[in-house]
């Protein structure tokens, strides 16, 4: 009876886990159609890959962005990834997530291989179960139930645990991969399998045949028979298989793998032991850098440590395989860490043989922070001198700037739409306007940083001041607008902020020379590094994760760019607007002479601008009047395509194409026309379909106009003026970093004031809070003090 109980418990252990595993994976993949997996080899929640996957092996990828081209990939799962925290069992949920990601990539047409730990941990769990079951039955027969609490688990030998765990571990992997219609095969190896030429050829042939048949090989060291690793046993030029790190590296090179992903319980490689105060994650690691790195202790489980991983990674890199070491245990990232790495996202530490000529973006962020602090300590006159010098350089170096811009225009011809080409283009008049705007900024910068906003006498000899200070480091991301660079740089200089600039590649030549001129101007007072141009292949999403280096993100570009940045930025505030759906309401008492001028200027002067008119609201009493006819005739002459709103279309026998959405930013010579019944109806329409950017009323009735101005909840609300006035330069701000539709901090065109925040300065003489208690000797005064006037001449 005892043997039957033990036997049945041992045999059914894995079987009892499989339903849970299947249920977990099915819940994770309910959205996946079986036919899509079996036949189309696609995945519904991850876009189907469109880049070519074939490449000639022999040289590792130089940049993360190239990892999406990886065809053959080895994923190494460390013991800390596979096992639970108690080291007696597998982290089943984590494994299910990893299997899902591997299946996603396999179904994209890649060749995936797994090097996995976990057999010892799984075997330990099984053997503990069997020992407990055996002891409990034996003690129940001999001593009753009272002694169950006194049972002790003997120390389990690792080889025995591995022997007991291998079959169960593989059964779990098979159950998981089966849910995605993928077959897996187990291969157990030892160091001899790589040193014996015949065995090595056999192993190579087996792996290639499995990959050819679309089977995922699951490789592990045969821990049931493998001898202890000998120190310094590496052969010349060949890494010895001591643990799964070295096994994964050896396998990757033998199989001419494109990418090796090593998952552990740390985010990657740090410049000092993780957890120490000054530890910083190393984004890219180059051969030779290991001499400047201090390695900590190895993980709680497993044979190797970070030093072993780095050694294996460098050996694989030398063999032509790219390597990324990342965290496979963190609950927030483990569900997509593998797919993120393959997509080229900044995850973990990327090993590269190609060291960029310039600084990394992290180093640029530190330089911008340091340079910005130096900039903030300059006198206002010194910051103004820098901006004046930059304005002079824009006109003095006009020919060089226009030549660089010409190269951008030639390269963009045929690739960019006409509105974007217009934004990309620079001209003498644009440069002159830029210079004028910069001089306006220089004049206004005299009283910006350090301005006292409030003074309060807290008590005798205890005075408090609130003063303006820079925000810190700004990240400005802009598309097709090289003229944005000197504008934003001048505002950052005037406000004492460090600046990171990320321009579109379509304006690379123009941006490069404009940044050089900016740094030349900054050099006059030794703060050259305060403004940095990011030229590396950093994805916008990766830049938005630098929350410890960047204090504010300002996107300048398409509504899609702004939405993407708002979505990607985690922990960093974003200032801007995602759409510029500007309205103009033509009231029943509008002037005939004013309407057509205002509509033409708002729509046709620069239709690609965010402050261009997109929806024209017309009072119903104006339909079939000469004023309405004049508006339509003018739009036809200007070749503006008209889209009819639902109400407008109902009044017409033959109407223009009905609008698909009343919430559309056209950015071109297209306009939506809709009919409203009153000023209140117009306001309601604007609040429902607008973007809180800029909205206008055209009327001669002052009472109606004031009602509109007070009730429309937008950043800019105008009366009898073009929407195009919504601009920092036209507002007299000199320039703007963008137009904000948010309700916190700055709103509308954001100039110098919008790039400042405040801090409090308290000056006392040995004051302590206890002196102000009920029985203390001092009382609070809280007297408002006059604010000193600064000389701005």
pLDDT tens digits for 519-568?
A: 999 999 999 999 999 986 667 877 888 888 999 999 887 777 888 888 88
CB atoms within 10 A of CB 66: 18
Is 390 in the same domain as 302?
no
Distance CA 476, CA 368 (A): 13
Q: What CATH number has the domain bearing residue 448?
A: 3.40.605.10
Q: Tell me if 789 is assigned to some domain.
A: no
Q: Tell me if 23 is assigned to some domain.
A: no
| Total domain count, the chain | 3
The pair of three-digit structure tokens given for residue 408, joined into one six-digit string: 């951008």
Decide if pLDDT at 256 tops 70: yes
C-alpha dist (Å) from residue 516 to 192, 357, 511, 532, 668: 58, 17, 9, 10, 33
Q: Tell me if 785 is assigned to some domain.
A: no
Contacts of 230 (CB under 8 A, 6+ apart): 240
pLDDT, position 221: 82
pLDDT, position 266: 86
Is 492 in the same domain as 435?
yes
Is 127 in the same domain as 271?
yes
Which residue segment(s) compose the domain that 454 sits in? 361-568
pLDDT-wise least confident of 2-11, 92-101, 457-466: 2-11
Is 347 in the same domain as 436?
no
Distance CA 64, CA 352 (A): 9
Contacts of 168 (CB under 8 A, 6+ apart): 13, 14, 17, 122, 123, 126
Q: Tell me if 8 is assigned to some domain.
A: no
Decide if pLDDT at 10 tops 70: no
Q: Tell me if 623 is assigned to some domain.
A: yes
Could you say which of 689, 713, 736 is where a domain stops? 736
* Per-residue pLDDT reduced to its tens digit, 572-598: 999 877 688 999 999 999 999 899 999
Percent of the chain at pLDDT exceeding 70: 83
pLDDT, position 246: 86
Could you say which of 714, 736, 758 is where a domain stops? 736
Q: Tell me if 468 is assigned to some domain.
A: yes
Is 336 in the same domain as 395?
no
pLDDT, position 9: 44
Is 503 in the same domain as 591?
no
pLDDT-wise least confident of 198-212, 267-281, 428-442, 498-512: 267-281
Task: Give the three-class secondary structure for 595.
Answer: helix
Decide if pLDDT at 493 tops 90: yes
Is 484 in the same domain as 504?
yes
Decide if pLDDT at 48 tops 60: no
Could you say which of 351, 377, 412 is where a domain stops? 351
Is 552 in the same domain as 659?
no
Q: What CATH number has the domain bearing residue 176?
A: 3.40.1160.10
Average pLDDT, the chain: 84
Is 290 in the same domain as 405?
no
- pTM given for the model: 0.74
* Per-residue pLDDT reduced to its tens digit, 408-440: 999 999 888 877 888 899 999 999 999 999 998
Is 245 in the same domain as 369?
no
Q: Tell me if 605 is assigned to some domain.
A: yes
Is 374 in the same domain as 451?
yes
Is 276 in the same domain as 374?
no
Q: What CATH number has the domain bearing residue 662?
A: 3.40.309.10
Contacts of 442 (CB under 8 A, 6+ apart): 383, 384, 385, 387, 388, 391, 490, 494, 734
Q: Tell me if 747 is assigned to some domain.
A: no
């Amino acid at each position: 009876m005892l043997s039957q109980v033990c036997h049945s418990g041992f045999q059914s252990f894995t079987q009892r886990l499989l339903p849970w595993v299947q249920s977990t994976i099915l819940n994770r993949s309910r959205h996946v159609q079986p036919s899509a997996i079996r036949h189309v080899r696609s995945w519904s929640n991850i876009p189907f890959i469109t880049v070519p996957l074939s490449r000639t092996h022999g040289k590792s990828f130089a940049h993360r962005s190239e990892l999406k081209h990886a065809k053959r990939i080895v994923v190494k799962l460390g013991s800390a990834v596979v096992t639970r925290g108690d080291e007696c069992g597998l982290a089943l949920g984590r494994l299910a997530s990893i299997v899902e990601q591997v299946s996603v990539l396999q179904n994209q047409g890649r060749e995936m291989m797994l090097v996995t730990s976990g057999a010892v941990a799984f075997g330990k769990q099984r053997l503990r179960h069997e020992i407990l079951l055996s002891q409990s039955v034996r003690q129940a027969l001999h001593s009753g139930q009272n002694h169950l609490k006194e049972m002790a688990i003997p120390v389990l030998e690792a080889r025995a645990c591995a022997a007991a765990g291998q079959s169960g571990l593989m059964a779990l992997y098979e159950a998981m991969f089966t849910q995605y219609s993928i077959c897996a095969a187990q291969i157990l190896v030892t160091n001899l399998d790589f040193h014996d030429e015949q065995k090595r050829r056999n192993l190579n042939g087996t792996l290639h045949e499995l990959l050819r048949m679309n089977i995922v090989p699951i490789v592990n060291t045969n821990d049931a028979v493998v001898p202890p690793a000998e120190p310094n046993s590496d052969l010349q030029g060949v890494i010895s298989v001591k643990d799964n790190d070295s096994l994964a590296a050896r396998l990757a090179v033998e199989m001419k793998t494109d990418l090796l992903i090593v998952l552990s319980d740390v985010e990657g490689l740090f410049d000092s032991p993780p957890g120490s105060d000054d530890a910083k994650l190393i984004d890219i690691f180059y051969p030779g850098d290991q001499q400047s790195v201090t390695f900590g202790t190895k993980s709680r489980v497993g044979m190797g440590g970070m030093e072993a991983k780095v050694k294996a990674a460098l050996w694989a890199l030398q063999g032509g395989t790219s390597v990324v070491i990342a965290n496979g245990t963190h609950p927030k990232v483990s569900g997509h860490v593998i797919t993120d790495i393959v997509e080229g996202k900044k995850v973990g530490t990327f090993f590269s043989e190609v060291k960029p000529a310039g600084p990394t973006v992290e180093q640029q962020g530190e330089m911008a922070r340091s340079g910005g602090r130096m900039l903030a300590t300059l006198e206002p006159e010194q910051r103004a001198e820098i901006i004046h010098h930059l304005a002079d350089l824009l006109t003095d170096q006009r020919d060089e700037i226009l030549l660089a811009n010409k190269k951008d225009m030639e390269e963009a011809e045929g690739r960019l739409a006409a509105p974007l080409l217009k934004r990309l283009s620079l001209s003498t008049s644009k440069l002159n306007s830029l210079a004028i705007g910069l001089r306006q900024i220089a004049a206004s910068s005299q009283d910006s940083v350090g301005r006292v906003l409030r003074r309060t006498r807290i008590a005798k000899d205890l005075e408090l001041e609130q003063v303006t200070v820079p925000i810190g480091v700004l990240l400005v991301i802009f598309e097709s607008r090289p003229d944005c660079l000197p504008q934003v740089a001048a505002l950052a200089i005037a406000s004492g902020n460090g600046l990171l600039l990320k321009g579109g590649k379509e304006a690379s030549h123009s941006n490069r020379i404009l940044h050089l001129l900016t740094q030349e101007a900054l050099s006059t007072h030794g703060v050259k590094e305060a403004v940095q141009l990011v030229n590396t292949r950093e994805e916008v999403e990766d830049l938005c994760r630098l929350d410890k280096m960047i204090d504010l993100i300002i996107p300048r570009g398409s509504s899609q760019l702004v939405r993407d940045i708002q979505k990607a930025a985690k922990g960093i505030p974003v200032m801007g607007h995602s759409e510029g759906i500007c309205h103009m309401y033509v009231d029943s008492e509008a002037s005939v002479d004013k309407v057509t001028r205002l509509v033409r200027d708002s729509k046709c002067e620069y239709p690609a601008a965010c402050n261009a008119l997109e929806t024209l609201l017309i009072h119903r009493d104006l339909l079939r009047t000469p004023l309405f006819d004049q508006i339509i005739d003018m739009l036809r002459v200007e070749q503006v395509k008209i889209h009819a709103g639902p109400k407008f279309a109902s009044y017409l026998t033959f109407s223009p194409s009905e609008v698909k959405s009343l919430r559309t930013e056209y950015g071109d010579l297209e306009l939506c026309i809709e009919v409203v019944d009153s000023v209140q109806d117009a306001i309601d329409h604007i609040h429902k379909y607008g973007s809180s950017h800029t909205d206008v009323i055209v009327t001669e009735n002052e009472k109606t106009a004031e009602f509109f101005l007070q009730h429309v909840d937008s950043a800019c609300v105008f009366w009898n003026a073009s929407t195009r006035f919504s601009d920092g330069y036209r507002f007299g701000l000199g320039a703007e970093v963008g137009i904000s539709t948010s309700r916190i901090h700055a709103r509308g065109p954001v100039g110098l004031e919008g790039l400042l925040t405040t801090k409090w300065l308290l000056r006392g003489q040995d004051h302590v809070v206890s002196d102000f208690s009920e029985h203390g000797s001092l009382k609070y005064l809280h007297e408002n003090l006059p604010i000193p006037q600064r000389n701005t001449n």
